[in-house]
Amino acid sequence: MPSLLLKNCEWIVTQNASREVLHNASILVQDGAVSQVGKASGSADKEIDGAGKIALPGLINAHTHLSMTLFRGYADDMLLQDWLAKKIWPLEAKLTGEDCYYGALLGAAEMIRSGTTSFVDMYFHMEDVARAVAESGLRGFLAYGIIDLFDAAKSKTERANAQKFYDYVKQLGNPRIRFVLGPHAPYTCSAEMLQWVKEFAEKNNTMIHIHVAETRREQAESQKQHGMRIVEYLDKIGALSKNMLAAHCVWLTKSEVKMLAKSEVKVAHCPVSNMKLASGGVAPVPEMFEARIPVALGTDGAASNNSLDMFETMKMCGLIHKAHRWDPTVLPAQKTLDLATIEGARALGVDQEIGSIESGKRADIILIDANAPNLRPLHSGETVISDLVYTASSGNVDTTIVDGHVLMENRIITSLDLAAVCAKAQELAARLVK
């Protein structure tokens, strides 16, 4: 594999253990991994000029439904239940593998453009999504969305579907694509299913991705159905697991947060989607930090966000907790950036591989064009961090690199034909909503 030198970057935000930010330094990439950071000497097969650029680890989107890009902007400003029942579910019933493939390509293009290099996805037709991810060059943690609706026959089919996708990913043998088990939620999956999922995940060492306590209504239903809160129920049936990455976790009590921590569950926080769908309340993220729960950031699907923009998500995340707690110190910019990079990697169990720019890690790196009016002046290594979180936008992303492969340079995507993907997505979406 050709080597790559990111030469003389104005700033390198390493996100290593001491959160070093280097000035006028270089990064050498060999065999898809970072081999030197700092005064990288010598030459490489390909060089990218880092002057006027900020290098940082590629962002990690810990919760999305990629193919839902096809529904972007189709139905907004509705009550959650109406939105799902009247608009989203009827469209999802019509989705084909081809729709999901092109929806995923469109989402992949959006992520490459906005500096996301890894993401966790849960949806249907996942073989087609995996194909799109493989072509795009991104790093995907992919889950088939399991929904058994407490029906024994459906439960059996869904287990077979999950197993089938597990086998598919295994035979694919692509190190950028990982299998994840995706029980949709405790209100759509039976206790037996959730127990099966936990066993399967432990046996095969895979992550479990699930929606937990997104709305207040879910907690009320759980009380009615099980006589206890959602996390208490998951604990009681033995479904909580150290392999679990729980999305949302908005409506949790402090004791539920402690239960998640005790079982070593990780959380994918989705502030933009929570605000847009008016989930109400604000996820108790400071309490999660206190309980030492690894927290990652996610956008959720493009039908409820409506973008896959992690720069926007970082800013919103910082702001919502400050506003909610009347405390500007509750979530400093460095911590917010951590959630989208190294802490996100920890929540996904891959912090030894990605999440920072360090020798030996996979080369998932983005370059921000700092010669933009919204990014000058840059004062110091410390203020660069707050510039990235509060000022930078996805439009400032110039170069996106995954596993040492350049997927975008000078804002031109090289791994996909963007015009063709946009045209096909337009055509398929028009057919779906007809």
**Interface stretch with Zn ion, choices 161-169, 300-308, 342-350, 369-377 (CB under 5 A):** 300-308
Nearer to Zn ion, 235 or 300 (CB): 300
Q: Residue 428: which H helix or E strand, with range?
A: helix 418-433
**Interface stretch with Zn ion, choices 292-300, 372-380, 396-404, 409-417 (CB under 5 A):** 292-300
Nearer to Zn ion, 93 or 419 (CB): 93
Nearer to Zn ion, 92 or 300 (CB): 300
In the complex, the smallest distance separating the C-beta of residue 300 from Zn ion, rounded to whole angstroms, is: 5
Show the site string, 369-408: x = touches Zn ion by CB under 5 A, - = not. Answer: ----------------------------------------
In the complex, the smallest distance separating the C-beta of residue 429 from Zn ion, rounded to whole angstroms, is: 19
In the complex, the smallest distance separating the C-beta of residue 247 from Zn ion, rounded to whole angstroms, is: 5
* Cα–Cα distance, 46 to 282 (Å, whole number): 46
* Cα–Cα distance, 18 to 166 (Å, whole number): 37
Nearer to Zn ion, 300 or 343 (CB): 300
Nearer to Zn ion, 249 or 366 (CB): 249
In the complex, the smallest distance separating the C-beta of residue 285 from Zn ion, rounded to whole angstroms, is: 17
In the complex, the smallest distance separating the C-beta of residue 63 from Zn ion, rounded to whole angstroms, is: 6
Structure tokens at 266: 């990780």
Q: Residue 95 gets which letter from DSSP? A: -
Nearer to Zn ion, 300 or 309 (CB): 300
Of the candidates 100, 60, 105, the residue with the CA atom closest to the CA atom of residue 298? 60
* Cα–Cα distance, 38 to 26 (Å, whole number): 5
Which residue lies nearest Zn ion, judged by its C-beta? 300
Nearer to Zn ion, 143 or 368 (CB): 143
Q: Residue 272: which H helix or E strand, with range?
A: helix 271-276
Query: By CB under 5 A, how many residues form the interface with Zn ion?
Result: 1
In the complex, the smallest distance separating the C-beta of residue 111 from Zn ion, rounded to whole angstroms, is: 16
Integer angstrom CA distances of residue 337 from 296, 333, 383: 10, 6, 13
Nearer to Zn ion, 268 or 367 (CB): 268
**Interface stretch with Zn ion, choices 130-138, 294-302, 327-335, 394-402 (CB under 5 A):** 294-302
In the complex, the smallest distance separating the C-beta of residue 59 from Zn ion, rounded to whole angstroms, is: 18
* Cα–Cα distance, 65 to 99 (Å, whole number): 13
Nearer to Zn ion, 133 or 250 (CB): 250
Structure tokens at 155: 């439960």
Structure tokens at 309: 């923009």
- Cis amide linkage into residue 371, ω under 30° from 0: no
Residues 6+ apart with CB under 8 A from 430: none
Phi-psi region of 419 (alpha: psi -120 to 50; beta: other; left: phi over 0): alpha
In the complex, the smallest distance separating the C-beta of residue 188 from Zn ion, rounded to whole angstroms, is: 12
Q: Which residues of 68-84 are buried (b: 16+ CB within 10 A; e: fewer)?
A: bbbbbebbeeeeeeebb
**Interface stretch with Zn ion, choices 283-291, 297-305, 343-351, 378-386 (CB under 5 A):** 297-305
- 261 burial type by CB count under 10 A (0-12 exposed, 13-18 middle, 19+ buried): middle
Phi and psi at residue 27, in whole multiples of 5°? -130, 125
Beta strands at 4-13 and 46-49: parallel, antiparallel or unpaired: parallel
Show the site string, 243-282: x = touches Zn ion by CB under 5 A, - = not. Answer: ----------------------------------------
**Interface stretch with Zn ion, choices 42-50, 131-139, 298-306, 368-376 (CB under 5 A):** 298-306
**Interface stretch with Zn ion, choices 201-209, 254-262, 284-292, 295-303 (CB under 5 A):** 295-303
In the complex, the smallest distance separating the C-beta of residue 214 from Zn ion, rounded to whole angstroms, is: 8
Beta strands at 21-30 and 4-13: parallel, antiparallel or unpaired: antiparallel
Nearer to Zn ion, 130 or 210 (CB): 210
Q: How far, rounded to the nearest angstrom, does the alpha carbon of residue 193 sit from its chain's CA centroid?
A: 24
In the complex, the smallest distance separating the C-beta of residue 304 from Zn ion, rounded to whole angstroms, is: 7
Beta strands at 207-212 and 177-183: parallel, antiparallel or unpaired: parallel
**Binding-site ranges for Zn ion (CB under 5 A):** 300
